[in-house]
Amino acid sequence: MAQTKFFHHGRFALAGGVLPDAVTAYRTYGDPKNPCIVFPTCYGAKVADNEYMIGSDKAFNPDQFYIVTFALFSNGESSSPSNTPTPYNGPYFPAVTYEDNARAQYAVLTKELGVTKVYCVAGFSMGGQQAYYWAVMYPEFVERFICICGSARTSPHNQCFLEGPKAALVNAVDFKDGHYEKNAERGLRAFGRAYSAWAYGQSWFRRKAYLKNGMYTSLDDWLRAEWETSFYPQFDANDVLSLLRTWQLADVSKLYAHSTMDPSTRPGYMKVPDTFGDLHATLGAVKAKGLIMPSRTDLYFPPEDSTAEVDAMKSNATLVVVESDWGHIAGGGGCEEDTNFIRDQTHKFFRETS
């Protein structure tokens, strides 16, 4: 549907250090003259995976919009532990935050694509978290944002969940503290199993939906076929951990808190905001119109968190709960009914805010 392109930033500072030649992978759809939609990837996704929401009959119509999809740092396409040369390869890859991703993507939009205004930043899961960052970091550039099954801050509960699959990977015999010569198959398979249960709602499991109408014979069959292979062999173990760290560091009220850059060398836009650490105040200052769509049964990003965030944004944001038993996967294209609901709510949001 579209070709992946690569923008070379040259020397680029990240939260945990610097890359001599950082790269951002992206795809474009539609006419550049149309309003621009920015659509970053989620955890465990390549840039092409975002096409589940792009099409004439989908949430983002390339006949009406200029859609730019971005690969997050560490996804294996943009700069990542697996594709970065020595001395920043593998476990030596610097920590990355959402701020770093937004700055890099902003550079692609303005320097390479000539975008002067973003109609909407939208994303699912980690992409949804990043949509919040765009709204806070670029208030005059972003007009709308959509967060699907995400949050403005990774909760302590969410962080604890992430420690489970992380521990399964880093303690595997073939991980070797990230210095493996061959990708850590046992570690990544264990990571997938530990990750799996949280992706769906309990009711989804109770009705044995994982059997896929006879495709699988047991829960273990499904785990091996769908979740062990979700991460191995297509993902590098260090990439998986680097992305997970970005997820854990999310808190839009603490911009640049994790940066190791010397304060005296930081550009003006990286100054600490007056509302630092106050999530309610940070969200209350957001100018962009927001559509927040949690899944009722999401164990990562429960709707209670979204309700508090929308309350902080007052009349600027709308909360629409996806009533699904598919849990977190409701926003990721796993269920056609949920995907269509999100599409319809997106179209309604665009009509009402245009």
Active site residues: 125, 298, 328
Helix (H) or strand (E) holding 101: helix 98-107
Rounded to whole angstroms, the Cα distance separating 293 from 321 reads: 5
Per DSSP, the residues of 226-266 read IIIHHHTTTS-HHHHHHHHHHHHT-BTTSTTTT--S-GGG-
How far is 87 from 205, CA to CA, in rounded Å?
45
3-class SS shares of the chain: helix, strand, coil, % to 5: 45, 15, 40
Rounded to 5 degrees, what are φ and ψ at 251? -165, 100
* CA 35 – CA 350 distance, rounded (Å): 12
Query: Which residue, among 198, 203, 161, has the nearest Cα to 324 in the 3D structure?
Result: 203
For the chain, how big is the Rg over CA atoms in Å?
Answer: 19
Chain centroid to CA 291: 16
* Closest among 295, 286, 337 to 315, alpha carbons compared: 286
- CA dist 240 and 234 (Å) reads 11
d(CA 35, CA 353): 14
Ordered alpha helix ranges (H), 108-228: 126-137, 156-170, 185-196, 202-206, 219-222
